[in-house]
Amino acid sequence: MFSDPQFWVAVSFILFIAAIFNPVRKILTSSLDAQINNIKNKLDDVENIKNEAQKALDELKEREAKVEKEIQNLKLVSEKKIAAFKDTSASKLTDQIEKRKILAENKIEQLVRDTNSTIKNYISSVAIESTRNILIQNLTKDKKSDLIEESITEFNSVLKN
């Protein structure tokens, strides 16, 4: 057995393996530990990123809620302003209609008065002209004198009273 070269090759192989086992194990262990630490660091980074993303998401949701609330408030305010504007516009329109109605009624009354006055003047002038023509055609000089004296007497009696 000791003289067999295969035995010595086997022994030298075992010794070689035993000699390099410890350094190889340390190299493999340190390499694996480095990879484990690297993976742990990456997991920590991912966890941090996840937490930051969650915070950002929460902030965005909070901002969205605030914006939604602000939109609702703006909507309510604008609806109130629109309602107030409608009321104001309706009252102004009603006032304008009422004023124009009064102006139109006044114009109509003025036109009626002017027309009545014109008609009365026309009737008076036609009546006076007709009476004058009748008197000119039917009265003699004596009747004219008697009529003038009678008018003067009536006028004097009216002045005395």
What are the residue ranges spanned by the domains of the chain? 5-160
Q: Check residue 161 and give its pLDDT.
A: 65
Share of the chain above pLDDT 90, in %: 61
C-beta of residue 153 within 8 angstroms of C-beta of residue 161: no
- The per-residue pLDDT for range 63-80, each reduced to its tens digit, is 999 999 999 999 999 999
C-beta of residue 10 within 8 angstroms of C-beta of residue 16: no
Q: Check residue 101 and give its pLDDT.
A: 96
pLDDT band, residue 118 (cuts 50/70/90) = very high
Q: What is the pTM of this model?
A: 0.43
Cα–Cα distance between 111 and 12 in angstroms, integer? 141
Give mean pLDDT, residues 15-23.
87
Measure the N-to-C terminal CA separation of the chain; round to a whole number of Å. 185
Q: Check residue 54 and give its pLDDT.
A: 96
